[in-house]
Amino acid sequence: MRLDVVSIFPDYLAPLDLSLIGKARRDGLLDVRVHDLRDFAHDRHRSVDDTPYGGGAGMVMKPQPWAEALAAVAGSGVEGARPRLVVPGPGGAPFTQTMARELAAEPWLAFACGRYEGIDERVYEFAAQDLGLEVSVVSLGDYVLNGGEVAVLAIVEAVARLLPGVIGNAESLVEESHEDGLLEYPVYTKPASWESAPGVTRDVPPVLLSGDHGAIARWRHQQRLERTAARRPDLLHASQAVAGTSDDVLTGFDVATATAADAPELLTLARACWVTEGRDNASFDIPPLVESLDDVVEGLGQWQTWTVRAAGRLVGSVRGRRDPEDPATWQVGRLMVAPDLQGRGLGRALLAHAEAAAPADVTTYWINTGRGSERNQRTYRRAGYRAVPGEGSHPGTVDLTKRRRAASS
């Protein structure tokens, strides 16, 4: 990924040479170029600011140096390539993990660091209309910094760590705060029992020492819900704010067993949900995207299928059945949540719902997803599933299984 940063304080960006970002630069994963805005100011004092029209306090950054700097950056790529321009500003869209992911998918980002009262508004128009750049004004939070450099450091760090190869252990990105709308669970390391003062010991929660991966996954999910409810209730869906368990997430929705009358909507929702899978797996030749209405109706006869509705609208579904070849295994499939409601725990709750419907003699849960569907795989791992080595039941897929927890007496 290429990153260009324009600033009147290029030295402010020196931390980009440190730590994992510095290593990513040295490894060739990041091509960071910092430019001094004053190099594009041609008067004797290399001035980049002037008084505001209409009066008022402070100075405003002049359009001409910015236009030249941005044109120089935008024109320095390979033929036809253009960076996405990110302008930090307290009046911008809030910078979130979702936006970090979005920016991480761009091959080239340019940052314009404002100072003083900000940049002359016509520069934004110029960048969009004359240079053809997508311009995004991005805020770090609801407070005012002196300049955009600190925001760029934060944005670059959040974006770059998502790039393949920047973080040594990609698994560590999986269960972090904000990855699926929840905060991370508390973490512990050795010793299991720590004497923080003479005679005072602080112990790691016993479940983490149990070796029971399913129990650990459930405990961690519960911790994430509780922590998010306590610290950031705004992140929780209204129905989740009062939740304790995954099942409670479904409170407020109508959950029902699907009938043939639901088939047309199920077909439509599946199409909407699996487009992302098609993209992530570089193939749109996958059953939920190509099956007919008759196939959906047939599936309703072979699987127990549940629908989730909000004010009448179909917003989710899941299905389960005994594996026809292995009666001790309960297959879960067609787990779908409407795109606008994803990231709120509904998928996890639906998965739990389908698992709970398994007959008592079932010992293993099974689910299958695309090899490239990393988001799904993360959700399933968090729910205690583990990938079965080798190719999944269909080409290009992976099977995941989970042992059923013995019912407590």
Ligand X SMILES: C[S@@+](CC[C@H](N)C(=O)[O-])C[C@H]1O[C@@H](n2cnc3c(N)ncnc32)[C@H](O)[C@@H]1O
Cα distances from 86 to residues 114, 162, 240, 343, in angstroms, run 11, 18, 34, 25
Contact assessment for residue 269 and residue 306, using Cβ atoms and an 8 Å cutoff: no
| Least distance CB 90 / ligand X (angstroms) | 4
Question: What element of type H or E holds 368?
Answer: strand 364-370
What's the maximum distance between 2 C-alpha atoms anywhere in the chain?
Answer: 84
User: In the complex, which residues of this chain contact ligand X (CB under 6 A)?
Assistant: 88-91, 113-115, 117-118, 139-141, 143-148, 151
Q: Which is nearer to ligand X, 114 or 347 (CB)?
A: 114
Q: Which is nearer to ligand X, 113 or 269 (CB)?
A: 113
Give every CB contact of residue 136 below 8 A, 6+ residues apart in sequence: 84, 85, 86, 87, 92, 93
| Least distance CB 184 / ligand X (angstroms) | 24
| Least distance CB 154 / ligand X (angstroms) | 9
A 10 A CB-CB count for 121 gives 10
Cα distances from 376 to residues 79, 132, 236, 286, in angstroms, run 37, 35, 20, 15
Q: Which is nearer to ligand X, 153 or 273 (CB)?
A: 153
| Least distance CB 112 / ligand X (angstroms) | 8
| Least distance CB 286 / ligand X (angstroms) | 41
| Least distance CB 60 / ligand X (angstroms) | 9
Where are the strands (E) in 13-153, listed by range? 31-36, 49-50, 60-61, 84-94, 108-112, 135-139
Q: Which is nearer to ligand X, 139 or 276 (CB)?
A: 139
Cα distances from 42 to residues 14, 39, 47, 63, 221, in angstroms, run 25, 8, 8, 13, 58
Measure the N-to-C terminal CA separation of the chain; round to a whole number of Å.
55
Reading the block at residue 101, the tokens are: 């992911």
Contact assessment for residue 226 and residue 217, using Cβ atoms and an 8 Å cutoff: no
Q: Which is nearer to ligand X, 108 or 116 (CB)?
A: 116
Q: Which is nearer to ligand X, 146 or 172 (CB)?
A: 146
Q: Which is nearer to ligand X, 147 or 214 (CB)?
A: 147
Give the sign of the dihedral formed by CA 102, CA 182, CA 316, CA 291: positive
Q: Which is nearer to ligand X, 117 or 265 (CB)?
A: 117
Residue 258 identity: A
Residue number of the CB atom closest to ligand X: 114
Plot region of 312 (φ>0 → left; ψ -120 to 50 → alpha; else → beta):
left
Q: Which is nearer to ligand X, 142 or 325 (CB)?
A: 142
Residue 232 identity: R
Residue with tokens 């999910």: 221
| Least distance CB 119 / ligand X (angstroms) | 6
| Least distance CB 34 / ligand X (angstroms) | 15
Q: Which is nearer to ligand X, 53 or 143 (CB)?
A: 143
> Helix, strand, or coil here: 23?
helix
| C-alpha to C-alpha distance for 152 and 248, rounded to whole angstroms | 40
| Least distance CB 117 / ligand X (angstroms) | 4
| Least distance CB 111 / ligand X (angstroms) | 9
Helix, strand, coil % in the chain, rounded to nearest 5: 40, 25, 40
